[in-house]
Amino acid sequence: MNNPLQLSLVNFKKGAYIIVEGKQKADCFYIIRSGKVSISKEVEVVEEEGGNILAPGDFFGVVSTMSSHSHIETAQAITDVTLIAVRREQYGLLIERNAPVAMKIIQQFSKKMRYLDAALARLTLKSGDSEDIAHLFRVAEYYARQSQYNLAYYAYHQYIVNSPRGQNVNLAKERMAKIQPYAKAVYLDIQGEEFTRSYPKNTMIFSEAQPGKEMYIIQKGSVKITKIQNDNEVMLALLKAGDMFGEMSLLEDKPRSASAIAHEDTVLMAVNKANFTRMVSNQPQLISKLTQILSERIWFIYKQLANTQLSDPVGRLYDALLIQLEKLRIPISSEAYTFDLGPRELGNMVGLPKEELNLVLQKLFQNSKVKIVDNHVYVSDIEEIEKQAKYYRKMEKIEKARRQGSMNLRK
Ligand code: CMP
């Protein structure tokens, strides 16, 4: 039997606040039917693509609703508006009835992810674009230097295939010949239509900067998503069975934004464009899951970006710890908690250079409730993290207002 999709229409008067940043429990998002809505964020970290004024057909509130986190933006009606409210549990049905809406949402998310990734890399690592094909050679060189020959071999190969006239092709060929005896790489070039693929631990599924036309669903094992920036490997995520990745190239016809490496022996199901289009209409639950995954990633990266705006490095560490707690949905209570993070990883997360890390950690550990136990960050009272992070966020706001005030006075 067909369930009817009953979406409700809601009206807001000009000037009304529709959603407010930081408010918990987003349970529905909105599609604009008529009128205009402005979107703003407390910390304007990046210039939003497409501007901040939304018109009929546009949507907002999807990230927080689909990830079940707090709102990451404020929406205000700038004319009288009529909105279509979509509750989280109605999303699957919406896709079934209206596949183009789902495609529009996913495509916009993918674009958003790409420029947020780039903004984060710029702000934390002060490094530039890595989409050009020559970056493949840098990826290969990095892994060769780390004696990770499986990964290097794959990336050299991709560089040669995708940039046959590149200035380092001869060098890449020499290096490949040298490391070949030690390198294991599967599926150097994908041909044919096999959709289930097995990757042994520590082999590359694809490299950052190579062209890509498929996305993957992890059936078994786990996959590391990494980027090479300024000659450092940055881990963006560790994905498990049921997770999906590689959707950005598939949706946007752009090079891979990061590398995917089998972290254990891994089995993947590959989905090409034709199958993806079929999935959108036949398997709404998968598209719903993909929207949820993308929403969680975008929520997380927004928080990381806001973190970069805190000028006090100790404040950034507290804030990063609070983001972890929120991400994992750990309730804020007076209990103890051990983070799945060592001090070095914590420093990496907020882009602290190695030289500064020790001094900043010393300051952090002046708080007797925060310690290192077995190379993991431990707090004896979770509430303390929230209290400190909020304190530093507030001080930043006051400082910002003061700076703006003195600038205005000078005018
Ligand atoms: P694609 O660009 O095709 O290849 C790399 C993939 O890594 C990308 O698609 C996403 O699926 C995934 N990815 C990119 N950025 C992140 C991130 N910040 N967190 C988790 N996964 C990511």
Q: What is the pLDDT of residues 290-341, one digit of tens each?
A: 899 999 999 998 888 888 889 899 999 999 999 999 999 999 988 999 998 8
Q: Which atom of ligand 1 is nearest to the CA of 225?
A: 7
Q: Is the shortest distance between the CB of 130 and ligand 1 below 6 Å?
A: no
- Which strands, in side-by-side order, build the sheet including 204-206? 204-206, 259-262, 223-229, 232-239
Note the pLDDT tens digit of each residue in 238-281.
899 999 999 999 988 889 999 999 999 999 999 998 899 888 87
- Residue 98: strand pairing partners: none
HSE, CB side, 13 Å, CA atoms: give it for residue 284: 14
What pLDDT score was predicted for residue 19? Answer: 93
Angstrom CA distances, 114 to 47, 252, 297, stand at 13, 10, 11
Q: Tell me how far the alpha carbon of residue 215 lies from the centroid of ligand 1, in angstroms.
A: 10
Tally the residues of the chain: 411
Residue 268 has what pLDDT? Answer: 96
Among the listed ranges 63-67, 204-208, 366-370, which one has the minimum average pLDDT value?
63-67
Distance of alpha carbon 178 from alpha carbon 181, whole angstroms: 7
**pLDDT tens column, 124-144:** 765 655 678 899 999 999 999
Q: Whose CA is nearest to atom 11 of ligand 1?
A: 245
Amino acid identity of 7? L
Is residue 239 within 8 A of residue 222, CB to CB? The reply is yes
Gap between the Cα atoms of 409 and 352, Å rounded: 34
- 114, 116, 226, 245, best to mutate for ligand 1 pocket (most atoms within 8 Å of CB): 245
Ligand 1, residue 258: give the atom nearest the CA: 5
Cα–chain-centroid distance for residue 293?
Answer: 9
Pick the residue whose CA is nearest to atom 9 on ligand 1: 246
Cα 264 to ligand 1 centre (Å): 18
Domains of the chain with bracketed CATH: 8-97 (2.60.120.10), 135-279 (2.60.120.10), 310-410 (1.10.10.10)
pLDDT of residue 357: 86
- 141 Cβ inside 6 Å of ligand 1: no
Residue 288: pLDDT band (50, 70, 90) is: confident
Region 54-67 average pLDDT: 91
**Ligand 1 near 297 CB (within 6 A):** yes
Q: What is the pLDDT of residue 49?
A: 57
Q: Which of 158, 236, 254, 307 is the best mutation target for the ligand 1 pocket, counting ligand atoms within 8 Å of the beta carbon and taking the most? A: 236
- Give the pTM: 0.83
Amino acid 83: pLDDT: 97
| 319 within ligand 1 shell (Cβ under 6 A) | no
- The pLDDT of residue 129 is 58
* 132 within 8 A of 310, measured Cβ to Cβ: no
For residue 1, pLDDT beyond 50:
no
For helices 313-327 and 284-308, what crossing angle results, to 10°?
160
216 near 205, Cβ under 8 Å?
yes
176 C-alpha to ligand 1 centroid (Å): 27
Query: Over the chain, what is the mean pLDDT?
Result: 88
Kindly give the number of the ligand 1 atom that is closest to the alpha carbon of 245: 11
End-to-end CA distance of the chain: 67
CA dist 318 → 315, 346, 365, 383 (Å)? 5, 10, 11, 11
